[in-house]
Amino acid sequence: MIIHVFNSQQELNQAGAGIITALIQTKPDAVLGLATGGTPVGIYEELVKNYNAARVSFRHAKSFNLDEYVGLPDGHSESYRTYMNHHLFDHVDIQMEETHVPNGNADDVDEECEEYDAMMADAGQVDLQILGIGHNGHIGFNEPGRELTAGTHRVELKAETREANARYFPSIDEVPTHAITMGIASIMKAKQIILIVRGADKAEIVERALFGPITTDCPASLLQAHPNLVVLLDNEAGSGLIEQ
């Protein structure tokens, strides 16, 4: 595990984008595991800058997103497909057919999950997986519990997760109750994982995830077992690690 703590958001964003850019420069057909939410937005902005400056091309890359809400209409402003198009895909030269986000409106969600895993297997091992972390330690939408699911699956979102995401919707009643998410095994298969965390409100769960016991009650704690984990924190998120 390598941990970097940054004094500014800009430094964190540039570092994250730099890792991804360097990967694609050395392996143009890299398979990227992408995340959504507020955490990676600045990194995607820096990637677009790198593309516009001709430092990187995504033409031969593939991407697989961690998750998607179940039941949002196609084109909904808060769907993760819309998010990815808006923040990255529409601004670089990646081939849209090589960008993959689970279909939250599939007629058969379980079948969609199986097909998503099959597409990932066909693409080969994910070279780099971007992750954030929830206040309860979830990664993707793998919520704390007595057991965790290995492959892509449908999950019921916990109340605290829906409350955390309510800021993106007119009311909490409009936050979906279910999502499709990559499973823990799918995430852990990536060659490299970048965990990105911002804010003092995440300091406690960061310390627990990185230095506490490995337990399904904190899914992010399983990342301690990954052989190539890079953690990018701002000063606030890293404040609990000073004595580690």
What is d(CA 12, CA 9) in angstroms, rounded to the nearest whole number? 5
pTM, full prediction: 0.92
Which residues contact residue 19 at a Cβ distance below 8 angstroms, ignoring those fewer than 6 apart?
A: 128, 194, 230
Compute the Cα dihedral for 26, 1, 132, 179 and give only its sign: positive
Question: What is the set of active-site residues?
Answer: 67, 136, 138, 143
Percent of the chain with pLDDT over 90: 82
Q: Which amino acid is at 117?
A: D
Q: Which amino acid is at 81?
A: R
pLDDT band at 242 (very low <50, low <70, confident <90, very high): low
Determine the pLDDT at residue 168.
85
What is d(CA 218, CA 204) in angstroms, rounded to the nearest whole number? 12
H/E run at residue 6: strand 2-6
In this model, does residue 193 exceed pLDDT 70? yes
In this model, does residue 179 exceed pLDDT 70? yes
| Mean residue pLDDT across the chain | 94
Determine the pLDDT at residue 164.
84
Residue 148 sits at φ, ψ, to 5 deg, of: -120, 155
Parallel, antiparallel or unpaired: strands 178-181 and 153-156: antiparallel
Which residues contact residue 127 at a Cβ distance below 8 angstroms, ignoring those fewer than 6 apart?
A: 23, 27, 30, 31, 32, 190, 191, 192
Compute the Cα dihedral for 162, 190, 130, 74 and give only its sign: negative
Q: DSSP letters of 70-87?
A: SSPPTT-TTSHHHHHHHH
CA atoms within 13 A on the CB side of 157: 25
pLDDT tens string 100-146: 999 999 999 999 999 999 999 999 899 999 999 999 999 999 999 88
Pick the closest to residue 161 from 186, 144, 180 (CA basis). 144
In this model, does residue 243 exceed pLDDT 60? no
**Does residue 25 contact residue 128 with C-beta atoms inside 8 Å?**
no
Determine the pLDDT at residue 129.
98
In this structure, of 110-119, 160-169, 235-244, the range with the lowest mean pLDDT score is 235-244
26-50 average pLDDT score: 97
Fold entry, domain 2-241: Rossmann fold (3.40.50)
What is d(CA 88, CA 184) in angstroms, rounded to the nearest whole number? 25
